């Protein structure tokens, strides 16, 4: 069974589909291909620029990077939270037990 929009020599009949003929479709897709190619070129240029920036970043000492200070801040926050939730209550528990023992003796 042949397709309804095909002529006997298998070429599309220029019937407008959704208001566009086959040549208009080809023109539109060629334009989209051009836009996609231009976008790929821009992405390639951006990657090359980032590559040169990566080389510059590699030369910065670690203590001057913000990642180092974020790590220090995170470790300090973790240690503080650990002390606040485990060490201090254990210390206070010993103090409270001493106070209760003194009250029991009196």
Same domain, residue pair 34 and 49: yes
Domain around 78: 62-106
77 or 89, greater pLDDT: 77
Same domain, residue pair 52 and 69: no
Region 99-103: mean pLDDT is 76
Is 12 domain-assigned?
no
pLDDT reading at 86 higher than 80: yes
Is 82 domain-assigned?
yes
Is 9 domain-assigned?
no
pLDDT at 15: 62
Lowest mean pLDDT among 35-39, 73-77, 97-101: 97-101
Residue 13 CB-half CA count within 13 A: 8
Q: What is the CA radius of gyration of the chain?
A: 36
**48-57: pLDDT as tens digits:** 887 776 677 6
pLDDT reading at 7 higher than 60: no
Is 52 domain-assigned?
yes
Percent of the chain with pLDDT over 90: 15
The helix/strand/coil state of 12 is strand
77 or 87, greater pLDDT: 77
């Amino acid at each position: 069974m042949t397709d309804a929009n095909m002529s006997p020599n298998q070429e599309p009949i220029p019937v407008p589909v959704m208001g566009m003929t086959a040549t208009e479709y080809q023109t539109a897709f060629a334009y989209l291909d051009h836009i996609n190619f231009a976008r790929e070129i821009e992405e390639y240029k951006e990657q090359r620029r980032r590559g040169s920036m990566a080389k510059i970043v590699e030369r910065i000492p670690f203590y001057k990077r913000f990642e180092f200070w974020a790590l220090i801040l995170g470790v300090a926050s973790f240690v503080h939270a650990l002390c606040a939730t485990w060490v201090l209550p254990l210390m206070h528990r010993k103090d409270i037990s001493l106070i209760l023992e003194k009250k029991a003796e009196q």
